[in-house]
Structure 1
């Protein structure tokens, strides 16, 4: 994979908009207040024995005014379109046709949601002996909506964001679980830094309240079961608690932002990604160390925001990596927000930019001592994303001079 690292003469890339819709609330103030109060919103009974972080109720009408648009989206799309709208509002470009007509979009998305009622109906009919030739095709043709083919297409999220908000620039969608979010940001950063693009909307969304996903991940024994625990405290009972969240960012060249009078939350200096083979113990830790060395030199007051999931052995290997960098206080987003797959890396970037803009790292929420208090304002935050199964990414978010 090609890395995006700041080089002399390259365009400085600012984060000028942040949109968050999570299990802790909608918008920056609500999420920041929940982090300060160490609130965690988990459901231990609705999907028992599995644990999820459900989306707090939001008024989708405020960002998706047409009910017809909402009806043809499944939850993961509504969450994403909503968060994207919040990011455009945050950047002050909502409804600005001149900017929206050229803004690029890079989205990280999963395979979409299955229609469980159709699946259940087909399986029940099969069990009762309704298995004549052509039966399955007939049911799928008649029962599925036009926007569905077994599962919604991943690029429908970008399409709906464009339709609802009037976006007219280029569009790219990345699939591939956690590292898709890192690559989406890497590509967007690279295009703006090199002058190919002036402004981009980047992010992802995830609906963790899905029985089909829980079944899928249970086949790999990845789900956290029975009782919630912070990410770093799950070694003896590993697993991730899926979370529902949308996280979108507006990235913009410094010149483009200054020309319209926009103020930055922070700047995105570098995004690097890799794919460790993970054949032997220590492979992933070594890759994280390699990515760390590729980041620009860190000279300010630093911290780490980790997307660690709680799944093993990835989380233990990441903890071993973190032990070599104990001068950087760490925070695990998975504890507070759950594991949001493609959205976890954009979420980490959003929280890093928010922390820098508010002059403080949010407090630790951990029972193992892995997370410690941080005194003073962070000027550099490294965002780490290690996939539960594959893929690693790292980014450097910095204060604007």
Structure 2
């Protein structure tokens, strides 16, 4: 029998809080991390959307001045979440600073970190500097700040992870893919411990303008906290979000040998492709359904074993229905009975970082036996007859299976499956 993989640490830096626990508690309270943007560039560019889900705490309040200056926000958020998860797991690579933590050899520690866009703010800021002030004013660290693997490198260098610093870039499925990849690394013997997660920092006038131009964003400027409303008949698009989340994963034997706490089990993962359209999901949902089925098959489970789904559920008119169609293919009539959480209603859509935070929420739902609420669901779309709790709801999660779905531009589908401890 293949050895099980366990989750032993979590970390997050999100629109709901500066830590995993703050984010989870705010989610359970039904809070929204969405707010009006106060940047001057909103009026300067006359943007049609004036709100987003910004990180609740400025990264500059958590990192040192030097760290913040040398890292794009996408890497800043990664570093904060990665550090928290590693500490939460009770691990260190420094024998002289162990202080009760377990020392892991740097050559046996691997980072698999994802982003959908990378250091967007650094790239576009440098372009503005080049045009306005000339090449001599462009920062020499521009390329290391903008490259997509910069977050993985930042986490790996900080924690001394020398088994690898991998980067998955698959739009909004990116960090779910990283978590699925982490299982492969562990089972292949590439590392004893993997820090897997994702981050995104896309709150800049260009992405806002671009997503708005394709009519993907909600335009509910007058009530931003109610703008992200998955499954609601009045949904009109997603809310752009930023932040990061991380999971520490290791083989169960390794975790138990050091007496680690176990949040739950990562039992399966799968990635498929629609090969249908660059932005639109396949309306038949066949690729997304196959990802769910493959993830369950890799877990040695069936659709009947699933007791909870954290849905991709971006709050777009087309996307929410496409995911429901895919879930129908997988679960049949039982799809109406499975409690579904659409947590983007509170966090906004973190793009490449979305899968990581939603995987973390799925693990915590199983660990604590509670389905988090979906907010802003006032009138549920009759074409999506799911069970979507709008208040925290207790459920029997011990030894049970839950899945977390992520789907991205380019037709990428990624799903991970967890089991309660």
Residue equivalent to 1:368: 379
Deviation by residue 1:99-142 (Cα, 9 ceiling, x = unmatched): 1512111010223124455434555x6xxxxxxxxxxxx92x32
Return 5+ residue gaps in structure 1 as ranges: 1-8, 126-137
Pairing of 1:320-399 with structure 2 (within 5 A): 320-322=325-327, 324=332, 325-365=335-375, 366-369=377-380, 370=386, 371-372=388-389, 374-378=393-397, 379-387=400-408, 390-399=411-420
Deviation by residue 1:226-280 (Cα, 9 ceiling, x = unmatched): 3443332566653221111110110100011011110210100001111112359
Q: Distance in 1 between matches of 2:181 and 2:343?
A: 23
Change (3 A) 1:87 1:60: farther
1:104 aligns with 2:110: yes
Pick which of 164-173 and 248-257 moved more: 164-173
Pairing of 1:242-253 with structure 2 (within 5 A): 242-253=240-251
Deviation by residue 1:14-61 (Cα, 9 ceiling, x = unmatched): 011100111110223312221221000212353464231010115656
1:313 aligns with 2:318: yes
Give yes or no for contact 1:52–1:208 (8 Å, CA) kept in 2: no
Deviation at 1:219, TM superposition (A): 4.0
Change (3 A) 1:90 1:368: farther
Q: Distance in 2 between matches of 1:255 and 1:60?
A: 38
Deviation by residue 1:307-327 (Cα, 9 ceiling, x = unmatched): 222235322211333454122
Return 5+ residue gaps in structure 2 as ranges: 96-102, 381-385
Q: Distance in 1 between matches of 2:394 and 2:368?
A: 13
Residue equivalent to 1:297: 302
Deviation at 1:94, TM superposition (A): 3.8
Q: Distance in 2 between matches of 1:235 and 1:250?
A: 38
Give yes or no for contact 1:107–1:202 (8 Å, CA) kept in 2: yes
Deviation by residue 1:146-168 (Cα, 9 ceiling, x = unmatched): 22149711111122212223322
Pairing of 1:121-140 with structure 2 (within 5 A): 139=134
Question: TM-score, normalized by length of structure 2?
Answer: 0.81
Give yes or no for contact 1:93–1:100 (8 Å, CA) kept in 2: no
Q: Distance in 2 between matches of 1:11 and 1:283?
A: 37
Q: Distance in 2 between matches of 1:261 and 1:67?
A: 36
Residue equivalent to 2:187: 193
Give yes or no for contact 1:114–1:150 (8 Å, CA) kept in 2: no
Change (3 A) 1:235 1:387: farther
Pairing of 1:84-123 with structure 2 (within 5 A): 84-94=82-92, 96-97=94-95, 98-99=103-104, 101=106, 102-109=108-115, 110-115=117-122, 116-120=124-128
Give yes or no for contact 1:309–1:388 (8 Å, CA) kept in 2: no
Q: Distance in 1 between matches of 2:353 and 2:409?
A: 13
Change (3 A) 1:117 1:181: closer
SS at match of 2:35: coil
RMSD of aligned Cα (Å): 2.6
Give yes or no for contact 2:217–2:238 (8 Å, CA) kept in 1: yes
Q: Distance in 2 between matches of 1:334 and 1:247?
A: 14
Q: Distance in 1 between matches of 2:363 and 2:111?
A: 19
Give yes or no for contact 1:285–1:321 (8 Å, CA) kept in 2: yes
Residue number among 146, 169, 173 corresponding to 1:175 in the alignment: 169
